[in-house]
Amino acid sequence: MWLKIPNLFFAFVIVTALTLGGCAGNAIGSSSTDTNLAVTEAAQKTTDKKPTDSTQAVSVAYNASESFPEMKDLPRLEGKATVVITVGGSPITIELDGDNAPITAGNFVDLVQRGVYNGLVFHRVVRSPEPFVVQGGDPKGNGTGGFIDEKTKTERMIPLEIKPKGAEQPVYSKTITQAPVLEHKRGVVAMARSQMPDSASSQFYFTLADLAFLDGNYAVFGTVTDGMEVVDKIQQGDLIDSAKVTAGADNLKNGGK
């Protein structure tokens, strides 16, 4: 399958499909910033991935607050949580992994509890030339927006958060070349972002196939445990009826801030 062959031709096909399928200038992006290079870089890196000492990853994680000082105030999920997203009257059950992606999962749970996703559109669905992603969560509905905090009147952004296998803590604010704990397997949920690592906000995507070339470049934070057949039927323009936390709400810290 072409997604498993890391060369520039297929990277070009992916970028072209995404650009034409949604807002121009965005790949798996969450702002108006051009993200084509981010996807191209992701595909290229699969040709020369080398294992990195996990202790190096841990040291980077401990220094994360220096590059993203707001991180200590962000919502954080300590453990697991379950969210049910209803589309066209049919439920999609997602298990969120706060053990391996606490900030990313915590941000998502907080937005669900605020009702941010209710009524939002899936603005990008890419199934051709091969199954790729279903993307939504943009309050603007066109792939250029994110969550605006009513208190600060600014867009909340979260750092790129990826935990390498063998590491005790996630790496923040940078892509990695080592294998992550949470891989881009079919049915996972991950955060969209622009070319800048720390630019994810509210946009998320479901993977429609195994997408190993995205590993280490985008933050996976959950898995569809039931209702993948619903995801497979989502069309561009379909709405999220509702999103609700059905378990693990007590594991959210700093929510509502």
In sign, the C-alpha dihedral spanning 166, 215, 186, 190 is positive
Instruction: Tell me what the pLDDT averaged over the chain comes to.
Output: 82
DSSP classification of residue 140: T
Distance, CA of 145 to CA of 222 (rounded, Å): 22
By the 8 A CB rule, do 173 and 159 touch? yes
Domains of the chain plus CATH, in order, are: 2-248 (2.40.100.10)
By the 8 A CB rule, do 249 and 220 touch? no
| Nearest alpha-carbon partner for 195 in 38, 39, 14 | 38
Distance, CA of 76 to CA of 81 (rounded, Å): 11
90 class by beta-carbon count within 10 Å (0-12 exposed, 13-18 middle, 19+ buried):
middle
pLDDT surpasses 80 at 65: no
In three-state secondary structure terms, 42 is helix
This prediction has a pTM of: 0.81
pLDDT surpasses 70 at 59: no
pLDDT surpasses 60 at 126: yes
Report pLDDT digits (tens) over 9-58: 444 444 333 332 333 334 577 654 333 334 433 443 333 333 333 334 33
Q: What percent of the chain lies above the pLDDT cut of 90?
A: 70
Which residues, 6 or more positions from 59, have their beta carbon under 8 angstroms from its beta carbon? Answer: none
| Nearest alpha-carbon partner for 157 in 116, 194, 206 | 194
Distances (CA, A) of 143 to 26, 29, 79, 212, 214: 7, 7, 30, 23, 19
Distance, CA of 9 to CA of 7 (rounded, Å): 6
Return the bridge partners of 93, or none.
84, 226
pLDDT surpasses 80 at 7: no
Which H/E stretch holds residue 104?
Answer: helix 102-114
Cα-based torsion angle of the residue sequence 175, 7, 129, 243 in order, rounded to the nearest 10 degrees: -10
Q: pLDDT band for position 142 (50/70/90)?
A: very high
Return the bridge partners of 133, or none.
126, 207
By the 8 A CB rule, do 165 and 182 touch? no
DSSP classification of residue 73: G
Report pLDDT digits (tens) over 78-92: 999 999 999 999 999
Report pLDDT digits (tens) over 223-247: 999 999 999 999 999 999 999 999 9
In three-state secondary structure terms, 18 is helix
